[in-house]
Chains A and B, each alone.
Chain A
Amino acid sequence: MTGKNAQNCNNNYLKYVRALDPPTKHFKNCLAAFGVGGLICTIGQFLRYMLEYAGLSGDELAGTVSVILIFFGCLLTGFGVYDRIGRHAGAGSIVPITGFANSVTSPAIEFRTEGYIYGTAAKMFNVAGAIIVYGVFSGVIVGIIYYFL
């Protein structure tokens, strides 16, 4: 099977796949994302109030809230619960800071079989590395602009 015949076969196969693919449920997806994302933010707000009551404030307060949320994001990823939530919630589980934690923990666990250095440690920054690179780079640009303004 060469040339045109192969291409024809590919096209037929793509048509077949699209026919079997379930239609994306846009509205249902958005509703799930809204509910789960909103709930995680509400938990964050609850932690804010609790820690504020405990006497924290300013950067320490905001930082501690993120650290607690990241901890639970990592823990739930470890138990395999977070991926199950993510299957239904989509962006609702990706966009909150717990999704960032998930993107770090998930490859760290998955690639442990490749060793602790090239597996866990190196693959940990698969997605987080991109976030840190572009975050730091854009942050430096913002800092320099504000310095000279």
Chain B
Amino acid sequence: MPTEKILEILFMYFKAFAVGGAICVIAQIIINITSLTSGKILVFFMLGGVVLTALGLYQPLVDFAGAGATVPISGFGYLLANGAIKGAEKGFFYAVTGSLTAASAGVTAAVVFSFIMSLLFHSKTKRN
């Protein structure tokens, strides 16, 4: 592999780390100030992803940072909004169903794996 390509890949890892970390820091600052519960943080960040995608501001971030923008929960919002936007080009039916179609992989994985885990593991006493 040429050196340029290797440098490009390393730089991409760096960008993913920086952007993904920065999104988590924003959430951490909000938690520190307002002591919101994790469920609310997840919902607000997901909605933030939807709104930013609808305004066309999230796509450049995804192009820039790759997994750094798609792995945080705001990337799930990006997936939903993007599915709806792409569906809207095909027709009204796809505009309405597009978001859940795009999210189907994530939701299916979470449900199936969680059910399997609940069969395999017992709840642990929380040691705080």
A66 and B106 contacting across the interface, CB-CB below 8 Å: yes
The answer to whether A138 and B24 touch across the interface, beta carbons within 8 angstroms, is no
Partner of B72 from A34, A37, A62, A64 at Cβ < 8 Å: A37
Q: Which residues of B contact A59 (CB under 8 A)?
A: 102
Q: Is B7 an interface residue (CB 8 A)?
A: no
Residue positions of A touching B, CB distance < 8 A: 24, 26, 29-30, 33-42, 44-49, 59, 62-67, 69-71, 74-75, 77-80, 83, 87, 90-92, 94-97, 99-101, 103-105, 108-110, 112-113, 120-121, 124, 126-128, 130-132, 134-136, 138-140, 142-147
Given A97-B73, A103-B42, A109-B123, verify A65-B117 contact (CB < 8 Å): no
Majority secondary structure, A binding face: helix
**Contact pick for A49, options B9, B28, B73, B77, CB 8 Å:** B9
Closest chain B residue to A64 by CB distance? B105
* Smallest beta-carbon distance A87→chain B, Å: 7
Query: Is A67 in contact with B109, judged by CB distance below 8 angstroms?
Result: yes
Please state if A97 and B106 are interface contacts (CB–CB under 8 Å). yes
The answer to whether residues A77 and B95 also contact, given A62-B70, A142-B54, A143-B87 and a CB cut-off of 8 A, is: no
* With A100-B42, A134-B43 as contacts: A66 and B105 at CB distance below 8 Å: yes
Q: Is the CB of A134 within 8 A of B46?
A: yes
What residue in chain B is nearest A93 (Cβ atoms)? B24
Complex interface bits, B83-123 against A, C-beta within 8 A gives 1, otherwise 0: 11101100110111011101101110111011111101111
How many residues of B are counted as interface, with CB atoms below 8 angstroms from the partner's CB atoms?
80
Given the known inter-chain contacts A42-B17, A103-B42, A108-B115, please indicate yes or no for A97 contacting B24, CB distance below 8 A: no
Q: How distant is the Cα of A49 from the Cα of B5 in the complex, in angstroms?
A: 12
- Can you list 29 residue pairs at the A/B interface with Cβ under 8 Å? A24-B32, A38-B17, A38-B18, A41-B21, A42-B17, A47-B67, A48-B67, A59-B102, A79-B121, A92-B28, A97-B106, A99-B73, A100-B73, A105-B118, A109-B118, A109-B123, A113-B123, A127-B42, A128-B110, A132-B103, A135-B76, A135-B77, A138-B51, A138-B81, A140-B84, A140-B96, A142-B99, A143-B95, A143-B96
Measured CA separation A94–B71 after assembly (Å): 11
